[in-house]
Amino acid sequence: MAERVTINEVGLRDGLQNQPRHVDTDHKVQLLNALLAAGIRHVEATSFVSPKAVPQMADAADLMTRLPDRSHIDYSVLVPNVKGYERAKEAGAHSVAVALSCTETMNRRNINMGLAQAEAVCAEVMRLAAADGLIGRAYLSVAFFCPFEGQIAREVVTWLAAAMFDAGAREVIVADTIGSADPMHVRDVFDDLTRRYDANLLSGHFHDTKGLALANSYAAFSAGIRKFDSSIGGLGGCPFAPGAAGNAATEDLVNMFESAGCATGIDLEKLPAAVAVAEQCTGKALGGRWLNWRRTQQAKQAVRAVGSN
């Protein structure tokens, strides 16, 4: 039986959060429907952050009322603090995620808190989620390299993961927020974590700033990880982290894992339609390596067809 790999689509949140062109709720729903049509079943839909800080997410509560097929799709939302958690719970969220950066400076730039305070706030949200019967998930941001403080010691990642699990988190997502990790570092970090925790409680989130998102994802896979974040067309990048380019493209991860004999449950040939919707929403040309290859092949076939007439 083929290994099962879960792809968690974060384009609606991480992908859109810092786009200069405003994307309204109707277009978000249109993009979501295109993703669902391709077989995606795990989606980070929005975030309940301050609309002043992240205007693209100002419609979070409205979007929640329009999420289709909520009984069969694993929707999650990001919350920055207890206030955001309460808003998300009121809007009907069943799964919430916090983002805890691994350094003092990144936490201050991101949520205006030091590391100790940020850890305490995130732990409180995880405890509330557990008590309320919600799924709590914790991102460990800049888990490999911080744009302000440099490389992160593996012991820091392990310590913060323990803090989140102890507080009730059901999943910890290890994030290469600025795309500066390398496969050996990724393997070492996940080897440390999987010696302490079931690999099914962990997932990876990689950015493609230096072209290593696929290599890093496969390094995590080789350490036993079977769940990965991705963003359609490679959309995204943290607005508070200098140099944080786009996320791993959904179509690239699906292509890589399916080519390696894994099952994702996603129809690769239907993802270009979702990329096209994302392009319309953002006004940007998008697409990962696989999609660019596919477009090249289609262009060659068109030329051959004309030549044969």
Q: What angle do CA 146, 189, 103 make, to 5 degrees?
A: 25
d(CA 273, CA 225): 28
Q: What angle do CA 94, 194, 201 make, to 5 degrees?
A: 10
d(CA 93, CA 169): 16
DSSP letter at 197 equals: S
d(CA 159, CA 197): 12
Largest CA distance in the chain: 70
Catalytic residue among 102, 122, 146, 238: 238
Residue type, 99: A
Bridge partners of 141, per DSSP, are: 101
Radius of gyration of the chain (CA): 19
Q: Is 146 an active-site residue?
A: no
Sign for the CA dihedral angle at 172, 53, 10, 64 comes to positive
Q: Evaluate whether 247 touches 206 at the Cβ level (below 8 Å).
A: yes
The runs of H, that is alpha helices, within 133-243 are 154-166, 183-194, 213-222
Q: Evaluate whether 164 touches 138 at the Cβ level (below 8 Å).
A: yes
d(CA 177, CA 244): 6
Residues known to be catalytic: 238
